[in-house]
Amino acid sequence: MFKIFGRKSNEKREREFLEIEVSEPVDCLGDFTFNFHWQHKGEKLDPSWKIPGNDLTFGEVVKHLKNKGNIRINGNAGHRLASSMGVDLQYFRGTGKDVPVGDIYVEGNIDTRMGISMTRGSIYVKGRVKEPVGNLVEVRSDVNGYRQFRSITDIMTNGLDGSKLIGCQIIGPKLIIDDGTVKDTIGARLDVEAEIVEKGDVDLSTGILMRKGTVRIHGNAGKNTGALLNGGTVIIGGNTDDFTAIDMIKGTIIVNGNAGKFLAANKKNGTILARKGSPIPPTEEKTLLSSDQQILIAHGFNPHGFKKYE
């Protein structure tokens, strides 16, 4: 264990850390899903596995974070650092709700998809961060020598708590992101009536598992846009890649362009409005109703050329 002093509201606070030594990047450190354990059933990663070069297991690190403990990674972190951090996942007999967590400090670099679907906590980084990153924005660090990243969902749900945004601004209930960073899973699990606006393009799973609120992307979006959407509205100003609205439960998705192949695979309910798309049966292309036109007009779109997929 070691200690570090940081600043918050001009007051120093003492922090203790659980240390992880890595000689080369390790994927999925602090990953609350254990690389989507429910899909591979422990073949790719299990909570009981030891982290290479450590006596700690992957599960012990997550447990430490859930107990509001901080961790320090001495070296470079791999892909998917802190995936879904802050979610008490039902698959692991949790509540399915967000929970307070500790923070992660990295003394080196971090590979892609840091903080995907992350809902609580901060990640502090001394080195470089490779894009795409996850559901994160950078804030002015409260610890010298580190860059600090916070969950977008956490900020919109619980407020800035004294943090100062970098490359973004909040106007009322709206967060405007213009930091030039490509992100995954923007707005993951959002459950408040807030709006997130991204000025550029994004990558995977925009609005995944959202319940309330609006995510508006001015550019294009990657695969799995609106995956498992459970309420709220996802708006894409350009095109989306394949598998838009996969496993969608309810809510609204608007694509001001091509919504891609395999549209609405395993969709349960909800409204999809797009100019073009290749849906998976039984979803099919239908004519807009007057209520659909009103939705589009309310969000600033001319309904001409749009189609409904249900």
9: pLDDT strictly greater than 90: no
178 and 262 part of one domain:
yes
Q: What is the tally of structural domains in the chain?
A: 2
Residues 124, 172, single domain; the answer is: no
Using alpha carbons, list the distances in angstroms from residue 201 to 32, 178, 244.
27, 10, 15
Average pLDDT over residues 285-307: 96
* Percent over 90 (pLDDT), the chain: 95
In a shared domain, residues 136 and 237: no
Q: Can you give the pLDDT at residue 174? A: 97
Cα dist from 288 to 49, 183, 266, 268, 293, whole Å: 52, 32, 22, 19, 7
Task: Enumerate residues 6+ apart whose C-beta is below 8 A from 129.
Answer: 109, 110, 114, 147, 149
Ranges 1-15, 106-120, 163-177, 258-272: which has the least confidence: 1-15
Tell me, yes or no, whether 125 and 194 share the same domain. no
pLDDT of residue 244: 98
Q: Kindly report the CA angle at 267 between 266 and 269, in degrees rounded to 5? A: 150
Same domain, 18 and 142: yes
Centroid of chain to Cα 290: 34
Identity at 53, one-letter amino acid code: G
Can you give the pLDDT at residue 15? Answer: 58
Q: Which domain holds residue 231?
A: 167-310
Among the candidates 132, 166, 200, a domain finishes at 166
Q: Are residues 219 and 209 part of one domain?
A: yes
What are the phi and psi torsion angles at 66 (to 5°)?
-65, -25
Same domain? For 125 and 188 the reply is no
Residues 62 and 45: beta-carbon distance below 8 Å: no
The pLDDT value recorded for residue 166 is 97
Of 134, 166, 198, the residue that ends a domain is 166
pLDDT digits (tens, 9 = 90+) for 191-233: 999 999 999 999 999 999 999 999 999 999 999 999 999 999 9
Give residue-wise pLDDT tens across range 10-47: 333 445 789 999 999 999 999 999 999 999 999 999 99
Q: What is the DSSP string of 143-193?
A: STT-EEEEEHHHHHHH--TT--BSSEEEETTEEEE-S---BSSTTTT--SS
pTM: 0.93
On the question of pLDDT at 291 being above 50, the answer is yes
Distances (CA, A) of 168 to 63, 135, 138, 200, 223: 32, 14, 8, 12, 24
Residues 111 and 195 in one domain: no
pLDDT tens sequence across 119-161:
999 999 999 999 999 999 999 999 999 999 999 999 999 999 9
pLDDT at 282: 94
Span 280-298, mean pLDDT?
96
Rounded mean pLDDT of 56-82? 97
Give the pLDDT confidence score for residue 119 in this predicted structure: 98
Question: Domain containing 202 — which CATH number?
Answer: 2.160.20.60
What is the pLDDT, as a whole number, of residue 8?
Answer: 44
List the one residue out of 49, 20, 51, 25 whose CA is nearest residue 37: 49
Q: Do 171 and 284 have their domain in common? A: yes
Q: Read off the pLDDT band of 7 (50, 70, 90).
A: very low
Using a 10 angstrom Cβ sphere, with 0-12 exposed, 13-18 middle and 19 or more buried, the burial of residue 190 is buried
Question: Which tens digits make up the pLDDT trace of 77-117?
Answer: 999 999 999 999 999 999 999 999 999 999 999 999 999 99
Nearest CA among 138, 145, 140, 126 for reference residue 74: 126
When the pLDDT of each residue in the chain is averaged and rounded to a whole number, the result is 94
Please give the structure tokens belonging to residue 147.
């860059």
Residues 263, 136 share a domain: no
